[in-house]
């Protein structure tokens, strides 16, 4: 056998092995997908058992207002110990006081034996865009409470125009993306060590649709997808939930500066949906639920027709000259941390 024929034989063998490996991987993927489809269909008829959040320690960023405040209340109602984190000390303390007032009233109405199931809320002032402050926060929380079981990255800035000043864009990226990295680095290693935990990323439905005059939000979904794969490959029992929300705010100053072609959703409704997703260990929750379906339908239409329909359902910052720019979220207004 000549050298050339031997080389050709090896090439054919290698090619056959590649085909066999591809076939094996394809069959495995099809079987796994079929199992997932069967499991999903089964849960449509017989819903999954709801997990208990009683005794879980939940840290929520941006807890001083809006969805963050309602998330703190909802988690506390489920029996969790709530850690409120925001840079706005006054509003953050108000959230904690609201919960603790309910806590006192709840204790007055129940027997002594049931009191162990309820814990007061804790408030910490922190700029989540500052890595050093987040590290200090983590150390303080671990000293005070020992651990964090559920991390809710809720702090974020509202939509901004692409024509905003550079420093505003940088602030938005710091809040909407980098703050997630800092809190993940601070709290996920402890979850991995205990092999127990849950990470929630509250993002915008803008990731799923074309919205004008806004900062791109898609990086958060990419971050959560990558984290999911890393945790899955290492067989860690850490749950993830990514929440995509439409406009959910009661602040009239903000709503006056937004041009909305979609219905406003209340923070209470959004918070209930997010907590429900955590209870059911859902990877993704979209509020409203039908948004993803309609976005997928729109993608099947020609571009011109798609633009007509998307023009009816939109959320954009009002053009310059009509109103002042949308106000910045309070989580990036100063640099402080205290227990």
pLDDT, tens digit (0-9, with 9 covering 90-100), for 93-149 = 999 999 999 888 877 766 554 455 568 899 999 999 999 999 999 999 999 999 999
- CATH code, domain with 316: 3.40.50.720
Q: What is the pLDDT of residues 206-240, one digit of tens each?
A: 555 545 445 545 577 778 888 888 888 887 889 99
For 288, phi then psi, to 5°, come to: -75, 160
> In this structure, are 133 and 243 located in the same domain?
yes
Confirm whether 52 is domain-assigned: no
What is the pairing mode between strands 57-61 and 284-287?
Answer: unpaired
Give the domain extent around 124: 57-332
Confirm whether 50 is domain-assigned: no
How many separate domains does the chain show? 2
Contact in structure between 204 and 247 (CB atoms under 8 Å): no
Q: What is the pLDDT of residues 59-107, one digit of tens each?
A: 999 999 889 999 999 999 999 999 999 999 999 999 999 999 988 887 7
> In this structure, are 297 and 148 located in the same domain?
yes
């Amino acid at each position: 056998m000549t050298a050339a024929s031997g080389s050709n034989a090896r090439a054919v063998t290698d090619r056959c092995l590649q085909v066999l490996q591809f076939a094996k991987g394809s069959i495995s993927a099809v079987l796994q997908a079929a199992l997932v489809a069967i499991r999903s269909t089964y849960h449509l008829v017989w819903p999954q058992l709801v997990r208990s959040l009683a005794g879980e320690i939940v840290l929520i960023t941006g807890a001083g207002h809006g969805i963050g405040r309602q998330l703190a209340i909802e988690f506390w109602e489920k029996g969790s110990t709530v850690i409120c984190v925001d840079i706005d000390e006054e509003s953050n303390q108000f959230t904690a006081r609201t919960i603790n007032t309910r806590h006192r009233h709840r204790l007055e109405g129940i027997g002594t034996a049931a009191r162990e199931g309820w814990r007061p809320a804790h408030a910490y002032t922190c700029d989540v865009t500052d890595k050093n402050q987040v590290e200090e926060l983590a150390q303080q929380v671990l000293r005070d409470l020992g651990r964090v079981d559920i991390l809710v990255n809720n702090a974020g800035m509202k939509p901004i125009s692409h024509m905003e000043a550079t420093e505003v864009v940088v602030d938005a990226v710091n809040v909407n993306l980098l703050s997630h990295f800092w809190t993940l680095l601070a709290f996920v290693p402890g979850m991995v060590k205990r092999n127990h935990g849950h990470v929630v990323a509250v993002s915008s439905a803008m990731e799923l649709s074309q919205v004008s005059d806004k900062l791109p939000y898609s990086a958060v979904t990419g971050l959560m997808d990558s984290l999911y794969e890393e945790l899955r490959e290492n067989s860690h029992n850490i749950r993830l939930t990514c929440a995509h929300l439409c406009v959910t705010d009661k602040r009239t100053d903000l709503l006056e500066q937004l041009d909305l072609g979609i219905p406003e959703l209340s923070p209470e409704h959004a918070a209930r949906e997010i907590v429900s997703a955590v209870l059911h260990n859902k990877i993704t929750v979209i509020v409203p639920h039908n948004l993803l379906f309609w976005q997928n339908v729109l993608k099947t239409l020609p571009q011109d027709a798609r633009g007509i329909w998307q023009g009816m359902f939109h959320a954009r910052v009002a053009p310059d000259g009509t109103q002042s720019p949308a106000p910045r979220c309070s989580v990036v207004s100063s640099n402080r941390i205290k227990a």
